A and B are shown apart, each in its own frame.
Chain A
Amino acid sequence: MAPLTPEQTTPVGLRKKGGERFTVAWADGHESVYGARYLRGRCPCAQCVSEMTGQRLVFEDHVNPDVAVAAARTVGQYALHFDWSDGHTTGIYSYDYLRRICPCDACMSALEGGPA
């Protein structure tokens, strides 16, 4: 995977729309809009991704379709932390990770076209 530039992983704006949507504006001008279920289904914590094998255990399909962000806060200067309406609270989403999982069409097709 190509390394990301500092501009691509530095947020300049963080916006939340109720519990359903979270938006990160990046220093390179890109904007990523994440749905709650999309993010919850990509939680990077050790309960959702196996600590031993690195395999994902909890997928978007496993998550309640109505899941919502109950609370969001910044973690130091490098990540976001979400409390989910289903009670899950252990994921710390680094800005690097968030940029890599940007759901916009351009980022998604770049990801599929590149090496897995």
Chain B
Amino acid sequence: MTGPAITEAQVLDALRSVMDPDLHRDIVSLGFIRNMKIEGSVVAFDVNLTTPACPVKDRLRDQSRQAVLTNVPGATDVRVNMTAEVRRAQAPDTSALKTVRNIIAVGSGKGGVGKSTVAANIAASLASSGARVGLLDADIYGPSIPIMMQTGTPAEPLADNTIQPGIAHGVRLMSMGYLTPGDQPLIWRGPMAHKALQQCLLGVNWGELDYLVVDLPPGTGDVHLTLVQTVPVAGAVIVSTPQDVGLQIAMKTLRMLQQTKVPILGIVENMSYYLCPHCGERDELFGHGGAKAAAESMKIPFLGEIPLDIAIRRYSDRGTPVSIAEPESPSGLAFREITGKLAQQVSMRAFKNIALSIVEE
């Protein structure tokens, strides 16, 4: 085929019609297009998204391809390679954590609402999408991550007084539960919890991470304060059950985080309904939709609902989150959808926030 050669400018012009639905800007001005190669009628480039867990990845791929095929004369073969690079929310001022891009806190009002289950599944889903993920179990009262994410390699102390995180399902792990042997409880006053959390944040060789998910204890205590005072948290996820009493307490945790200016990334409703394993019927044991209504009235994203499903409990107890063990099951899909929405929220905020540091005048 002859005719004028295709230029990079032509391709970029064509791609300007493709909008990122969350950031409301076109993918060219967002700087997503990388590594463009043009050989004859073949055009190849990368679309570098803000998260590998992007829920609109396939749509953007198709739109980019179509835009070039339709608007660039002579282009007959368009090869779109989807890549991702997670942008940093705010530059953490703590040098030990400078390799961690986004810290996501998972909190709840009361205990027993499945906060750790949600944290483990979010972390595992993010990792399976290709992101570099760490999970810090900061629940001093009931550290359950060591059970839910059974480690391939356990965490271990190193000679220089730092800790090498364990690894399970592609997630780097550290738990306050590792700090005491076996079945011993942690009996700590506030200052001990404060020191321990700081060590878990700053004394662990997290390495390069796109997301560090922190599983908080229930409520609003020392650990929460230490976290929000030690590091800039990109945002928080609140887990609640649908019934009123759980929800009302969850709102207290939410307001505490708002008071310390931690952005609320969204609410997850857990134990939303019971899926009968025999007949598949849906039973709403704790009522339904409470968290969604609360999210709407507080203008906070509602990330999704998770069924009360025996498979979630079974896989948790065996050490593999359901989103990894059965990704296509109703519960696995629910967790993956929530993870996608969460990653979207983090990306939107990373573009909005600018790092704030004190400058000398």
Contact = CB atoms under 8 A, between A and B. Distances in A.
Interface in B232-264: 232-233, 259-262
A88 interface: no
Contacts of B298: none
Contacts, number: 57
B360 A17 contact: yes
A30 interface: no
Interface residues of B, number: 20
Given A16-B361, A23-B361, A95-B261, A76 B356 contact: no
B336 to A, nearest CB: 29
Q: Does more than half of chain A's interface fall in helix, strand or loop, or is it mixed? A: strand
Contacts of A78: 228, 259-262
Interface-central residue, A17, A78, A95, by most chain B CB under 10 Å: A78
B358 A76 contact: no
A64 interface: no
Interface string B346-361: 0000000010111111
Nearest to A6: B261
B164 interface: no
Majority SS at the chain B contact face: loop
Contact of B93 (A13, A16, A23, A74): A74
Contact of B228 (A11, A73, A76, A95): A76
A104 interface: no
B361 A76 contact: no
22 contacts: A10-B261, A12-B356, A13-B356, A13-B359, A14-B356, A14-B359, A15-B358, A15-B360, A15-B361, A16-B359, A16-B360, A18-B360, A23-B361, A74-B232, A74-B356, A74-B358, A75-B229, A76-B227, A76-B228, A76-B230, A77-B233, A78-B228
Interface of A: 10-18, 23, 72-79, 92, 95
Interchain residue pairs A-B with the least CB separation, the first 9: A78-B261, A78-B260, A76-B228, A77-B261, A14-B358, A15-B361, A17-B361, A75-B229, A76-B229
